[in-house]
Structure 1
Amino acid sequence: MQKLKKTLLALCLVAVCLTFWTAAATAEENGDQVELQIVSVNDFHGALIENGKNPGAAKLAAYLKALRAKNPDGTLLLSGGDMFQGSVESNLLYGKPVVEFMNEVAFDAMAFGNHEFDWGIERLEQRIAQANFPYLGANILLKDSAKAAPFAKDYQMLERKGVHIAVIGLATPQTAYMTNPKAVGAYQFADPVERAKALLPQLKAKGADLVVVVSHLGSYQDKESRLISDDAARLAAGVPSLNAIVSGHTHQTIFGKVGEVPIVQAYYFGRAVGEIDLTYDKKSRQVTASVAKVSALNPAELTADPAVAAIVAKAEAEVAPIKQVVLGETLRELHHERSEQNVSLLGQWSSDVLREAAKADIAFQNGGGIRTSIPAGLIKMGNLYEIMPFDNTLFTVDLTGEQVMQVLQYGIHNSKIGMLQYAGLKVQYDASLPPGERIVAVTTLDGQALDKKRGYRVATNDFMALGGDGYSMFKEGKNLKDSNIPLRDILVEKIKALKVIDFSGDDRLIEIRSEAVGRLPAAA
């Protein structure tokens, strides 16, 4: 009897398994359950060449092609923006080889990053015309009329395995102040949540089964709780009916959910790839399962894609004559790190060069305008394009001491926009004090205290002069003038004249070290 019970139980289990298998097989056969994957990269920043942890475009392309091959009819390949600016090969060719790489890999859509505007709208429109994929920015509107910007599409309708997918593109609202006003001054970057909400009824009326957002909205993730925060998280919380969000801008590795909305961000420089896997049931018209993940790439384990390798080689050959020109030499590293809340040696030195060129009393630069360090040794033209990829020009303006103090109070230890770089002043500040109250003492190079009523001639760049990064103080000054001379050119001529940069015996330009009390004495 016991044996019979065991036999019947076994038969029941087999029947249940067969029923489940049959139902699954029937669903798969009838196409009710559809497996989709959203593959994404963001903040590539022109990293075409394999270098250290950067796999380069050719190896990244091979990885993306292989990933799509696993589900060729169910894959979307999206970019979260900031694809072009950052490397000599891309900067000198204004992003053209990056678009060639993206065309070869067959990206489906791209969001506008804030750096897509760095070279102006005309250059951006050239890249848009070159691309075989749409650039999406539903919240980029004309400032005077709130109509859509003519170069940006709100969304793209795609179809995968019979499922209609609407892809909305959203730019970060920070573009309005993080990008040169000369490029974006005519546009407004509307609230992403409100724009997405406004589009949903229209997309559903067009038959969209799924709505995905590809964006340059920032996000962060707590390592312990895994909670996701910042703009992408606010979008998910504000529009919970979205099916997936691709994030960018903050150069993080993000994978998880806010509510039921999966979010990914795949680090930067092509070092990782994001993937959101969705299971969609056609009968119920619902997503029944979703998984977000990010895969870090190891260049040593990848093989280069031949077609993209040829694109990169061509770009290298085009820029090599300019990139390899030797300008001079530095006996020590000219260090700069955008994320550091400190005045850097490169920031001080380059600011001092601009101050002298403008015959100014003081010079200011935004920390994000200097992108990297110059290693010790020979300085080549390529180094200058790496540290200053933007074609910013030298501006002069007359500010009162009170206005100079406003610049310092705003820019010193400002983690949101990066540390203000300066020359011509000695500044003491206390980072533990609230914003706007951190300055302890300011003197000029001759040891005189900053006179709030006196006028000072100030050198800066066009980005800051026109209010970039929120530096509205410059527009309130007098005699605001654009020299139309690129900062990069001024530095090139200075290095050529010096031949060797040697700081020995120069007590005005020293590295800054934090004191234990948090008070940082800064040098000119």
Structure 2
Amino acid sequence: MSHLVRASALGVVALALAVPGNAAAAKAKKPKHTVTVNTVDALPKTTLKNLSRKCGKSTSAKKIRKRSTSRPTKNRVRIVTTYCSGGTRTVFYIKKVTKVVTVPAPVPAPVPVPAPANKGFRLTLLHNNDGESKYVVGDSVNNYGGITRFKTVLDQVRQEAADEPVPGNLDKGTLTVSSGDNFLAGLNLRASFERFDAGAGPFYDSEAIGALGYDAVTIGNHEYDFGPARLAQFVAFETSGVPFLTANTDFTGEPLLQALRANGRIADSTVVEKGGQRIGVIGVSPPETPTISSTRNVKFAADVAGLVNAEAQRLTTAGVNKIVLSSHLQNTANERAVVSQLRNVDIVISGGADDLLANANDRLVPGAGNPVGPYPLVSKDATGADVPIVTTQGEYRYLGRLTVNFDKDGKLVSTDAAKSGPIRITADPAQPDYAKEDPGLKARVTDPLVAYKAALAANVIGQTEVALEGGNPNPIRIREANLGNLVADGFRFAANRTAVADGRPVADIAFSNGGGIRASIPGPGDLNEKQTFDVLPFDNVMVTVPNVSVAQLKSLMEWGVSRTPSGDGKFPQISGFRMNVSTNVAYTAQLQSGTTVTTPGTRVRDLWLTNADGTDGEQLIANGAVVSNRTVNIATTNFTANNGDSYPFTGTTFQFAHRPGQEGFYPYQASLYDFITTPTAQGGLGGVVTAARYPIAGSGRIAIRSTP
């Protein structure tokens, strides 16, 4: 497969950052402040000159009041232009793709060596996965994790490996790899966006990744949560130049990502030279990413084993005889299934889950749960060879270390168990493995993030009389939760605030996917602005889906409860209706191929609209049958309405909601903030979440039984 990269004569590719990508977004008014990324070979000197002039009485949106250029480098320059109208435009320029070029899907052939290595090789593989922007101690668990201490431990272990004596018949080297989900929605990432959009620097995430000295970084699913444009920014402005790997993605529909593939920042694989010998690293991303993230025009191939085998064969033919697969297939079981089909792959790093692999004497984070297997797991490949599989629990709680020996022909012959396993990252000074913070990374990344979050936490917006439960998976992905009820009520409230002004129908009901709700809120106690971002951290916005038939509503809810009682991100948290669900074997869990229903579900037995006082209104489904010909208007997020989590919104359209008094769309986080703070006379909660309205056990909106 080849990747074609096209650039215009000026090589300009713009990133629309104000709203999520959607055809309807093009109709929205442009914000006063815009950010653009252009790709160019060279800028005229006149463009780089600072400019200042008087506007007089002019309010022209084209006449420039001031232009300032800052921090020009060989590959990057930032120009901020202020117009007489008051609008501001920030433009980043990066190196351009100059013409239509053909870039082979694999990386360019590795630099040949005069002859095969005549020594064996001792490899120390250092790895982690699912860092997910959890940079500050306490972002994950108290007293453990944190990227500043992770870096300290990483540097120490690297040095230990470098200092280790080896026999004369062995070369040695250390390889460092991240296996995906390098950032995640939340306040840390939002701070990154604000910093970047203000032209104040790259993402904190880009800077953090750059400081760790990775040799390769796999692209997971969460990297797409804010769309391809944000991923392109993250990669383009990452500070170390590390290659980002994904062998099963097609970027031809996303010019910025395709340009990054063309210039080598994104690749199928990379070859790293360590201790005089070469190691190939191949990356793969989850094929189901389009259903769980916001990939827009990026396409994902499902034949992971076939693609990996082809790339491994290409590397082997080029003389690379030690190959690592860094995959993000969501759990070690998936990796084991793929390994059984592979050839020429020596080691697999698994990412995407929270699987803990550990041995008897490994120090573990308290409360981490029982290991799912030893470190490493060992599986057989298609030839019967043993392949070690490694992973760590994420969020910088562990550094994984696998130490293995290869013979001179590149065959993995042994694992050093004494120098292999998860290494926990602890901030507890009472522990023997206490790690100090790296001062440079602390000053550049974690200190600014702590200050950013403290400012939001200081803004008290109300009180709650009850703890609001959003635990993952229980309850938010398994059953009705009082926080889920609050969020869904906020959706309906927000969508209807400007429905008349927008020309949208009033929403009768609302629902949120459980996976869009990411934190609990303790109570009783104060509510602050930071908590609204913690609970609803993604870049989703509010929409109304009009004229949904009861039959389609039933199909949507059948899909939402199809995996109950197993935890699943599509489980619905609802508003404006209640339903009875049975998981008894007498009833069928809905099956789908993508968004196409192949086996209709029969678990939703009854469904009623509810009145404003919570009492039952019209019954729409009775004993599993549709009993009403009416339609309903649904408030939800653009993610869900766009078939996120494979919700079967087929044959429907949706309309964006707008926040009162603001341009642009209505962020789903703002729906919760506004619902809490708006006076009761205007339909809000007046600053108080009451235990009567949101009891901790739920209010009976979703009744799940296992009996017929």
TM above 0.5: yes
Q: Which of 603, 612, 619 is the equivalent residue of 1:449?
A: 619
- Could you tell me which runs of 5 or more consecutive residues in structure 1 were left unpaired when the two chains were aligned: 1-29, 221-228
State the AA in 1 paired with 2:379: V
Match of 1:391 among 539, 543, 555: 539
What is the correspondence of 1:162-241 to structure 2 with a 5 Å cutoff? Answer: 162-180=276-294, 183-220=295-332, 229-230=333-334, 232-241=335-344
Check conservation: 1:43, 1:81, Cα contact below 8 A: yes
Which of 436, 439, 448 aligns to 2:604? It is: 439
Match of 1:458, SS state, is: strand
**Aligned counterparts of 2:687 and 2:258: Cα–Cα separation in 1:** 48
Code of the residue aligned with 2:531 in structure 1: it is N
Aligned match of 2:183 in 64, 75, 84?
A: 84
Q: Is the CA contact (8 Å cut-off) linking 1:45 and 1:87 kept in structure 2?
A: no
The verdict on how the C-alpha distance between 1:517 and 1:364 changes in structure 2, with shifts beyond 3 A counting, is closer
Amino acid at match of 1:77: T
Which structure has more relative contact order (CA 8 Å, sep 6+)? It is: 1
1:189-228 Cα distance to aligned partner (Å, 9 max, x none): 44211110121221113221211111211224xxxxxxxx
Q: 1:480 to 1:519 in 2, by over 3 A?
A: farther
CA contact (8 A) 1:38 1:77 kept: yes
What is the Cα deviation at residue 396 of structure 1?
A: 0.7
Say whether the 8 Å CA contact 1:47–1:86 is kept in structure 2.
Answer: no
Query: As a proportion of its length, which structure holds more helix?
Result: 1
Report sequence identity in percent. Answer: 24
Specify the alignment match of 1:496 in structure 2.
677
1:442-461 deviation line (CA, Å, top 9, x unaligned): 11104221145210011110
CA 1:512–1:189 in structure 2 vs 1: closer, same or farther (change >3 Å)? farther
For residue 293 of structure 1, the aligned residue among 399, 421, 426 is 421
The reply to whether residue 71 of structure 1 matches residue 197 of structure 2 is no
**Which of these residues, 243, 260, 265, is aligned with residue 134 of structure 1?**
243
Cα distance in 2 between the residues matched to 1:506 and 1:285: 65
SS in 2 for 1:197: helix
For the Cα contact (< 8 Å) 1:503–1:509, is it kept in 2?
no
- RMSD over aligned Cα atoms: 2.6
SS in 1 for 2:267: coil
8 Å CA contact 2:125–2:401 kept in 1: the answer is yes
Q: CA deviation at 1:122?
A: 1.9
CA contact (8 A) 2:582 2:707 kept: yes
Residues 45 and 83, structure 1, Cα contact 8 Å, conserved in 2: yes
Asked whether 1:104 is paired with 2:207, we answer no
Q: 1:332 to 1:355 in 2, by over 3 A?
A: same
Within the candidate set 250, 257, 273, 2:378 is matched to 257
- In the alignment, is the contact (CA less than 8 A) between 1:149 and 1:187 conserved in 2? no
Which amino acid counterpart does residue 607 of structure 2 have in structure 1?
Answer: V
For residues 123-522 of structure 1, the aligned pairs below 5 Å read: 123-131=230-238, 132=240, 133-142=242-251, 149-151=258-260, 152-180=266-294, 183-220=295-332, 229-230=333-334, 232-254=335-357, 255=375, 256-259=377-380, 260-282=386-408, 284-290=409-415, 293-300=421-428, 301-311=434-444, 312-340=446-474, 341-359=478-496, 360-376=507-523, 377-398=525-546, 399-412=548-561, 414=563, 415-433=567-585, 434-435=588-589, 436-446=601-611, 447=616, 448-450=618-620, 451-472=627-648, 474-477=649-652, 479-483=653-657, 484-497=665-678, 498-506=685-693, 511=698, 518=706
Gaps of 5+ in 2: 1-116, 163-171, 194-201, 261-265, 358-374, 381-385, 429-433, 497-506, 590-600, 621-626, 658-664, 679-684
State the aligned residue count.
475
Q: Any conservation in 1 of the 2:581–2:705 contact (CA below 8 Å)? A: no
The alpha-carbon deviation at position 324 of structure 1 amounts to 3.2
Aligned-partner Cα distance in 2 for 1:507–1:80: 40
The answer on whether the counterparts of 1:33 and 1:281 sit within 8 Å (CA) in structure 2 is yes
CA drift at 1:518: 3.3
Measured against aligned partners, the alpha-carbon deviations of 1:369-391 in whole angstroms (never above 9, x if no partner) come to 11111222222222122111111
CA distance in 2, matches of 1:512, 1:267: 35
Taking a change above 3 Å as real, the CA distance of residues 114 and 75 of structure 1, as seen in their structure-2 partners, is same
User: Taking structure 1 as reference, are residues 34 and 507 closer, same or farther at Cα in structure 2, changes over 3 Å only?
Assistant: closer
SS at match of 2:391: strand
Structure 1 Cα separation of the partners of residues 441 and 452 of structure 2: 15
- One-letter code of the match for 2:668? L
Q: Which amino acid aligns with 1:408?
A: M
Question: For residue 103 of structure 2, what is the aligned residue in structure 1?
Answer: none
Query: What is the CA–CA distance in structure 2 between the aligned matches of 1:45 and 1:519, rounded to whole Å?
Result: 40
Q: CA deviation at 1:515?
A: 8.5
Structure 2 partner of 1:23? none
Cα distance between partner residues in 2 of 1:394 and 1:111: 31
In 2 relative to 1, CA 488–416 (structure 1 residues): closer, same or farther, beyond 3 Å?
Answer: closer
| 1:131-167 residue CA offsets vs partner (Å, 9 max, x unmatched) | 211111111114779xx95443111110112221111
Moved more, 362-371 or 338-347: 338-347
User: Which one-letter code corresponds to 2:440 in the other structure?
Assistant: A
1:91 CA displacement: 2.8
Contact 2:205–2:234 (CA under 8 A) maintained in structure 1: no
Give SS of 1:103's match.
Answer: helix
- The 8 Å contact of residues 570 and 645 in structure 2, kept in 1 or not, is answered as no
Pick which of 317-326 and 345-354 moved more: 317-326
Contact 1:262 1:276 in 2 (8 A): no
Quote the Cα distance in structure 2 between the aligned partners of 1:504 and 1:126: 43
- In structure 2, distance between residues paired with 1:432 and 1:199: 46
Alpha-carbon distance in 1 for matches of 2:395, 2:707: 35
Output one character per residue of 1:341-365: Cα deviation in whole Å (capped at 9) or x when no partner. 1121111111012113323111111
TM-score by length of 2: 0.63
For 1:409 and 1:508, how far apart are their aligned partners in 2?
25
> 1: distance between equivalents of 2:458 and 2:514?
26
SS in 2 for 1:71: helix
Counterpart secondary structure, 1:352 = helix
TM-score, normalization: structure 1? 0.84
Does the residue aligned with 1:166 lie in a helix, a strand or coil? strand
Query: Cα–Cα, structure 1 residues 452 and 35, in superposed 2: closer, same or farther, change >3 Å?
Result: farther
Counterpart residue identity of residue 443, structure 1: W
Q: 1:418 to 1:458 in 2, by over 3 A?
A: closer
